[in-house]
Amino acid sequence: MVATYETKNDYKVVGNTPIRHDGLDKVTGRAVYGGDVKAPGLIWGEVLRSPHAHARIKKIDTSTAEAMDGVFAVLTHSDFPTVDEREVSTGEDVVNLKRDQSNIMANKKVHYKGHVVAAVAAVDRNTAQQAANVIKVEYEVLSPISNVDDAMADDAPIILEGLVGDHLGEEVENTNVATIFRHEFGDVDNAFANSDIVIERTVSMSMIHQGYIEPHNATAIWAEDGNVTVWSSTQGSFGVRAQTAGMIGVPESKVRVNYVEIGGGFGGKTKVYLAPVAALLSRKSGGRPVKLIMDRSSIFEATGPAPGGKIRMKIGATKDGKITAADTDIMLESGGYPGSAVGAAGLCVFACYNLPASKITGYDVLVNKPKSAAYRAPGSPQASFAIETVIDEICEKGGFDKIQFRLENAAKEGTRRGDGVQFIRVGLEECLESAKESDHWKSPIGDAPEGKARGRGVASAYWMNGGGKSTCDLMLQDDGTVMMNEGSADIGGTRTSIAMQAAEVLGIPIEDFHPSIPDTDSIGFTGVTGGSRTTYATGLAAYNAAHKLVDELKGRLADLWETETANIKFNEGTFTANGDSIGIQELAGKLDPTGGSATATASVNLAEAGNAYGVHICDLEVDLATGKTDVIRYTAIQDVGKAVHPQYAEGQIQGGVVQGLGWALNEEYFITDDGAMANRSFLDYRMPTSLDMPMIDTIMVEVPNPLHPYGVRGVGEVPISPPLSAAAQAIKEATGKSYYELPVKPGRILEALNND
Amino acid sequence: MTTNSPSKVHITTTINGQQHELLVPGYMSLLDTLRELIGLTGTKEGCLDGNCGACTVSVDGRIVDSCLVLGAEVDGKEVDTVEGMASPDGLHPLQQAFLEEAALQCGICTPGFLVAAKGLLDNEPSPSEDRIRHWLAGNLCRCTGYDKIVRAVQKASS
C-alpha cells in the first residue's frame, strides 16, 4: 500500500538554508575520504590491466612479481572462489555476481582495454606498481567491437561466451544482444497513417564518463577470524557489502563496510571494482590492511561509463499540433558485460507526452568497452536527446510554438507512461507554464557579434526517481540535542536535508542535530544514494523516526505527569496536558528517572517515488569560423516537489545542467580502431571548466509529491537530461544545420557548415 | 624487508608555517609527501597528471598541482595547504563563503579550489567574474557547475 499525505504549508525548518553539518570538515581538509584511510601496517595494492580491447588470456606468469622484494601477494582470477550466476541488488540496479567477478578480474577473456587481469600487494604504492608491471600475460588478440551496428552484425565475434540473450521472450544463443524488450499500446501504424506530419530520425551518441574527481579506492582487512572490514568510496555501503561478500564467497554478516566521505559518484560509485581485490590481497598477505587507489586513465578505461548507442525515433502529429503516435528503437551499449541503462531509457523516452499510441523497443548490446554503469538519470539523457530532437523538428514543420506544443501534449496525472504505469500528480505542465512566463523565454536573444551566430533551444525531460529502503535512528540526548544516525552516503548535504525533516517534526533547531553515517553493522539497511531517493526516502525514515520519538516521549511524560499518554498533545516542540506544558529540549534533561535518553528508529521501503520533470532553455553562441560554442544564458525549470534545502536543491540542478552541457558539447569516448579510448585523461576528455560556463539560472516549481508528507520529490538526476537537446537545438538555430550525433563539437559544426 | 624505492633525499621545508625535516624518496610527489609522510590528507588526489587541480597547494605563494612537483623540490620553500587556511580566530573568509554559498557538494575538489582562490585574492582582492572563472579553470568540479563556487569567491573578495 502506498501512503499519501496532505502537504503542510507552514514550515519552521524545511525550506531554510542552514549550513551542512559536515561542511566545516570539508572546507578545512579534515574530512576523511576513502583515499585518506590509514590503518596500522597498511600495505598497497595495484592491478595489471589488459592492453587489448578483446583477447583471450593464454597464460599469466606471476613468478617475477612474486619474487620481488616487498611483494606480499599476487592475485589472479583463479584466487577467487567460484560463484553462481546469482544476482544481488546494489540498491539502484542488479549485479550478476559471476559476471561482475569476471569484470573486476578477468577470467580467461578480456572484454575491454583496461580489464584487470592480475593484482599485487606490496610494501608501498611504488613497489606495488613495479611488481604489477612485471607480471607477464600472453594474449590471443581478437578483433574488438566498438559500436552497436558491428555488435549486432550476423558475423560479429561473440564477446560474452555462453550468453543466452532474451529477445522478446525468446532465448537466443551466440549473440551480443543480451536483451530485447518492448512496451506497446495503441495502433501505432494506423496512427502514423492518419498523421499530417511524420518525422523519423536516427540519433547517436558516444559513451561518456561520470567524471567524479575522486578516484575509486578501497582498503580492506580480511582477519584471521574470517571477518572482513572495508573502507571504500561508495554511494552505498550496503551495496559494497553485498557485492564484496558475494564475490569473495563469504556471508554478508562477515563483511563490515565503514562509511568514508565520497568524492562524487553520479551513479558510477554503485558498482564495486576494488574492494573484493583488496580483501583477497589482504587474506593472502596475512591479514594486513591493503589499500588500492585507481589511476585516472583506468577510471576512464574500466569504470563508469554511461552507454553510447543509437536511437531511431519516429513521431507523428496532426496539423493542429497533437501528437498521434511515437515509435522508437533504443540500442544502448552495455559495454563488456550485459546491463546498460536501456530499460530506464524505455521508461523515460516518451514520459513527457500524452500519447494515443506508443511503441518502445529496447536493445541491450555488448561492445568491447568498459561495462557501463549508472550515470545520473541513467538512460534518460540519451532518450531525451532523441525525442526532443524530433519534437523540435515537428514544431518547426508544423509552425508550432515549442513550449505551447509541449503543453498541449503534456503528460499529467492519469497519463500512461510508455510501459503502462499511470502517473500520480506530476508537475510537467507547471514547469512548461513557468518556462513560458520566464524572463528568459520572453527576452530576445540579442544580436551576435561579427562572425558569430546565436540560437535558442528548449527541451524537456523526465526521470521517475527512486524510493527503496532507508533507516534512520534518533536519540534525544539529555542536553536537548539529537544524535541522528542514517544510512545514506552524503554526496551533497543530505545529512542536513534528512535531519531538517526530523527537526521539522520535533521543533528542535537544526543546529542541535548531530547527524552521523555509521558502518553497516551499526545502522539498518539503507540503499544507495542514487535514483534521487535520499532526501525523499531517508528523509521519510527520519520523519517517521521523529514521530516515533514523540510517541516515546509522550509515554515518558505520562509517567512524570502521572497522566494518560492520550491526554498529552505535542505541537511545534511543546508537550501539553491538563494545563501543564514543557518544551521537548527541556524535557530531554528530565528523562533520567524514566529510563534515560529516549530513542526511536524507523525503516522505510518505498515502492514508489514522485516523478521529476525539467524544462530547460539554452541560449548559445557559435563562432562560425572555428565552431566553438559558448553558452551565454541558461535557465533550468524543474518541479522539485518541495525544496527541503533550496540552496542545495538548486546546486543539484546547476550541477546536472553543466554535466548535461558537457555531454552535449564536448565529452565523448574517442575510440581508436583497435578499441582503445584515445582521450583517457582530464586533459583530453574535456569536461566543462569554470571558464566554459555561465551562471546557471534555476526556477524551482513546487508541485507537492503526494507520497511524501512535505511533498518532496527527488531533485538530483533529471537536470542532466534536457541540456543535450536544448544545446543541440540552440546550435541548430544558430547555424541552420541539424545535429543528430553527440557531442555537437566544433568539428561537427564546421563539417555541417562546410557542407553547403 | 627492503623496498624497491630509490635512495631518499634530505629536505627542510616549511609547511603551513611549521618547519619539517624529511627524508623523501626521490620519486615521491609533493602530494604524496604531504599525504603519506606528513599526514596532511586535506590535499586530494584526483588525476595525478596535473589536469584536475584537486591537489592544488601554494609553494612560495605560487599555486601548483602538487602531483606534478617532487617532494624533494620544496627544500627550503614554504608550502601552504588547505589545513593552514583557518586560524585560531576562525575560518578564512573563503572557507566561510564556501559554506554559506553552498559552493561544495561532495567536497573532494574543495581544498584545491580554496587554495587556488586564496592565491587569486591574495594578489587581486576584487577580481571580476571573468577573472575568477579564468583563474579557477585549472580546478575541475563535477558537482556544482561552478555557479556557487564563483559566487563564493565573489563574496569573499573585498
DSSP characters over A328-369 = EEEEEEEESSS--THHHHHHHTTTTB--SSEEEEEEEEE-SS
**Does CATH place domain A422-465+610-754 in 3.30.365.10?**
yes
| pLDDT for residue A91 is more than 70 | no
* Count of structural domains, chain B: 2
The C-alpha atoms of residue A325 and residue A388 are separated, in whole angstroms, by 14
| pLDDT for residue A3 is more than 70 | no
For A88-122, give the DSSP string.
Answer: EE-SSSEEEHHHHHHHHS-SSEE-STT-EEEEEEE
Please list every residue in chain A whose beta carbon sits closer than 8 Å to the beta carbon of residue B100.
Answer: 19
Mean pLDDT of A360-366: 98
Place of cell 574535456: A686
| pLDDT for residue A90 is more than 80 | no
For residue B50, the distance in angstroms to the closest alpha carbon of chain A comes to 9
Partners of residue A257 on adjacent β-strands: A230
| Helices (H) then strands (E): counts for chain A | 20, 31
The C-alpha atoms of residue A729 and residue A622 are separated, in whole angstroms, by 12
Cβ-contact A657, A636 below 8 angstroms: yes
Would you call B4 and A69 a contact, using CB atoms and an 8 Å cutoff?
A: yes
Cell output for A452: 558569430
- Tell me the percentage of chain A whose pLDDT exceeds 70: 99
Are B60 and B118 in the same domain? no
The C-alpha atoms of residue A547 and residue B154 are separated, in whole angstroms, by 42
Are B20 and B45 in the same domain? yes
**Do the domains at A422-465+610-754 and A468-606 have one common CATH topology?**
yes
- pLDDT digit string, tens, across residues A147-204: 999 999 999 999 999 999 999 999 999 999 999 999 999 999 999 999 999 999 999 9
Q: Indicate whether B108 belongs to any domain.
A: yes
- Under CATH, to which class is A468-606 assigned? alpha beta
Query: Higher confidence at residue A92 or residue A316?
Result: A316
Q: How many CA atoms lie within 13 A of A45 on its CB side?
A: 36
Q: Compute how many other C-beta atoms are within 10 angstroms of the C-beta atom of residue A449.
A: 10
Q: Compute how many other C-beta atoms are within 10 angstroms of the C-beta atom of residue B137.
A: 16
- pLDDT digit string, tens, across residues A405-432: 999 999 999 999 999 999 999 999 999 9
Q: Indicate whether B31 belongs to any domain.
A: yes
| pLDDT for residue B2 is more than 50 | no
3-class secondary structure, B5: coil
The C-alpha atoms of residue A649 and residue A434 are separated, in whole angstroms, by 18
Ordered alpha helix ranges (H), chain B: 30-32, 93-100, 110-123, 129-135, 147-156
Cβ-contact A670, A683 below 8 angstroms: no
Burial-class residue A150 by CB neighbours within 10 Å (0-12, 13-18, 19+).
middle
Would you call B105 and A491 a contact, using CB atoms and an 8 Å cutoff?
A: yes
Query: Higher confidence at residue A228 or residue A93?
Result: A228
For residue B12, the distance in angstroms to the closest alpha carbon of chain A comes to 23
Sheet containing strand A217-222, edge to edge, reads: A71-75, A116-122, A43-49, A290-293, A217-222, A228-232, A255-258
Mean pLDDT of A72-81: 98
Q: Indicate whether B115 belongs to any domain.
A: yes
Q: Indicate whether B2 belongs to any domain.
A: no
Would you call A29 and B150 a contact, using CB atoms and an 8 Å cutoff?
A: no
For residue A681, the distance in angstroms to the closest alpha carbon of chain B comes to 8
Cβ-contact A371, A298 below 8 angstroms: no
Mean pLDDT of A678-690: 98
Would you call A29 and B109 a contact, using CB atoms and an 8 Å cutoff?
A: no
Would you call A263 and B107 a contact, using CB atoms and an 8 Å cutoff?
A: yes
pLDDT value of residue A1: 43
Report the candidate in A195, A415, A489, A140 with the shortest Cα–Cα distance to residue A323. A195
| CATH code at position B110 | 1.10.150.120
Nearest to A690 among B41, B52, B133 (CB): B133
- pLDDT digit string, tens, across residues A565-577: 999 999 999 999 9
β-bridge pairing A741-742 and A136-141: unpaired
Dihedral class, residue A79 (left if φ above 0, else alpha if ψ from -120 to 50, else beta): alpha
Cell output for A179: 536483451
Partners of residue A603 on adjacent β-strands: A471
Domain boundary among B84, B115, B131: B84
Q: Indicate whether B142 belongs to any domain.
A: yes
| CATH code at position B65 | 3.10.20.30
Which among B108, B135, B149 is the top mutation candidate for probing chain A, defined by the most A β-carbons within 10 Å of its own β-carbon?
B108
One of 3.30.365.10, 3.30.420.40, 3.40.50.1220, 3.90.1170.50 is the CATH number of A34-143+214-302, namely 3.90.1170.50
| C-beta pairs of A445-448 under 8 Å, 24+ apart in sequence | A445/A619, A448/A621, A448/A734
Q: Give me the total of CB pairs closer than 8 Å, taking one residue from chain A and one from chain B.
A: 203
Place of cell 521501503: A605
- pLDDT digit string, tens, across residues B27-86: 999 999 999 999 999 999 999 999 999 999 999 999 999 999 999 999 999 999 999 999
pLDDT value of residue B6: 58
CA torsion sign, B129 to B134 to B138 to B144?
positive
Please list every residue in chain B whose beta carbon sits closer than 8 Å to the beta carbon of residue A265.
Answer: 106
pLDDT value of residue A2: 54
Find the Cα–Cα–Cα–Cα dihedral A526, A528, A532, A536, rounded to 10°: 10
Cell output for A38: 590509514
Burial-class residue A110 by CB neighbours within 10 Å (0-12, 13-18, 19+).
buried
Chain B residue with CA closest to A657: the answer is B145
How many residues are present in chain B? 158
For A220-289, give the DSSP string.
Answer: EEE-TTS-EEEEE--S-HHHHHHHHHHHHT--GGGEEEE--B-S--TTTTSS-SSHHHHHHHHHHTTS--
Are B79 and B102 in the same domain? no
Domain boundary among B84, B109, B129: B84
Cβ-contact A391, A403 below 8 angstroms: no
Nearest to A296 among B48, B95, B133 (CB): B48
Mean pLDDT rounded to a whole number for chain A: 97
The C-alpha atoms of residue A240 and residue A102 are separated, in whole angstroms, by 16
For residue A65, the distance in angstroms to the closest alpha carbon of chain B comes to 12
- pLDDT digit string, tens, across residues A612-632: 999 999 999 999 999 999 999
Mean pLDDT of B108-135: 98
pLDDT value of residue A84: 82
Are B61 and B20 in the same domain? yes
Q: Which helix (H) or strand (E) holds A744?
A: none
- Tell me the percentage of chain A whose pLDDT exceeds 90: 97
Nearest to B147 among A35, A69, A654 (CB): A654
The C-alpha atoms of residue A584 and residue A513 are separated, in whole angstroms, by 14
- pLDDT digit string, tens, across residues A274-329: 999 999 999 999 999 999 999 999 999 999 999 999 999 999 999 999 999 999 99
Please list every residue in chain B whose beta carbon sits closer than 8 Å to the beta carbon of residue A689.
Answer: 136-138, 140, 146
The C-alpha atoms of residue A487 and residue A471 are separated, in whole angstroms, by 6
Q: Which helix (H) or strand (E) holds A403?
A: helix A402-408
How many residues are present in chain A? 756
Chain B residue with CA closest to A42: the answer is B36
Nearest to A687 among B27, B48, B142 (CB): B142
Q: What is the CA radius of gyration of chain B?
A: 16
What angle, rounded to 10 degrees, do the helices at A380-398 and A722-735 form? 40
Q: Indicate whether B105 belongs to any domain.
A: yes
pLDDT value of residue B5: 52
Would you call A36 and B47 a contact, using CB atoms and an 8 Å cutoff?
A: no
Are B68 and B106 in the same domain? no
Q: Indicate whether B29 belongs to any domain.
A: yes
Please list every residue in chain A whose beta carbon sits closer than 8 Å to the beta carbon of residue B52.
Answer: 213, 296, 682
The C-alpha atoms of residue A472 and residue A484 are separated, in whole angstroms, by 7
Are B51 and B100 in the same domain? no
Which among B83, B106, B149, B150 is the top mutation candidate for probing chain A, defined by the most A β-carbons within 10 Å of its own β-carbon?
B106
Dihedral class, residue B73 (left if φ above 0, else alpha if ψ from -120 to 50, else beta): alpha
Which among B142, B148, B149, B154 is the top mutation candidate for probing chain A, defined by the most A β-carbons within 10 Å of its own β-carbon?
B142
CA distances from A551 to A59, A297, A477, A510, A586 (A): 65, 54, 16, 20, 16
Would you call B3 and A654 a contact, using CB atoms and an 8 Å cutoff?
A: no
The C-alpha atoms of residue A503 and residue A15 are separated, in whole angstroms, by 12
Would you call B105 and A493 a contact, using CB atoms and an 8 Å cutoff?
A: yes
Please list every residue in chain B whose beta carbon sits closer than 8 Å to the beta carbon of residue A301.
Answer: none
| pLDDT for residue A4 is more than 80 | no
Domain boundary among B84, B114, B138: B84
Chain A residue with CA closest to B107: the answer is A26
Place of cell 584471521: A224
Cβ-contact B76, B13 below 8 angstroms: yes
Confidence of residue A264 (pLDDT cuts 50, 70, 90): very high
Mean pLDDT of B95-120: 98
Q: What is the CA radius of gyration of chain A?
A: 27
Report the candidate in A598, A601, A602, A595 with the shortest Cα–Cα distance to residue A553. A598
Dihedral class, residue A498 (left if φ above 0, else alpha if ψ from -120 to 50, else beta): alpha
Cell output for A223: 582477519
Mean pLDDT of A677-700: 98
How many Å separate Cα A416 from the centre of its chain? Answer: 25
Please determine, for the modelled complex, whether the ipTM score is greater than 0.95.
yes
Residue ranges covered by each domain of chain A = 34-143+214-302, 422-465+610-754, 468-606
Nearest to A682 among B51, B91, B104 (CB): B51
Domain that holds residue B70: 8-84
- pLDDT digit string, tens, across residues A22-49: 999 999 999 999 999 999 999 999 999 9
Q: Indicate whether B97 belongs to any domain.
A: yes
Please list every residue in chain B whose beta carbon sits closer than 8 Å to the beta carbon of residue A129.
Answer: none
Chain B residue with CA closest to A493: the answer is B105
* Strand intervals (E) in B42-128: 56-59, 62-65, 78-80
For residue A183, the distance in angstroms to the closest alpha carbon of chain B comes to 34
Nearest to B140 among A130, A266, A687 (CB): A687
The C-alpha atoms of residue A332 and residue A369 are separated, in whole angstroms, by 12
| pLDDT for residue A507 is more than 80 | yes
Q: Compute how many other C-beta atoms are within 10 angstroms of the C-beta atom of residue B122.
A: 11
CA distances from A361 to A172, A180, A462 (A): 17, 7, 18
Chain B residue with CA closest to A262: the answer is B106
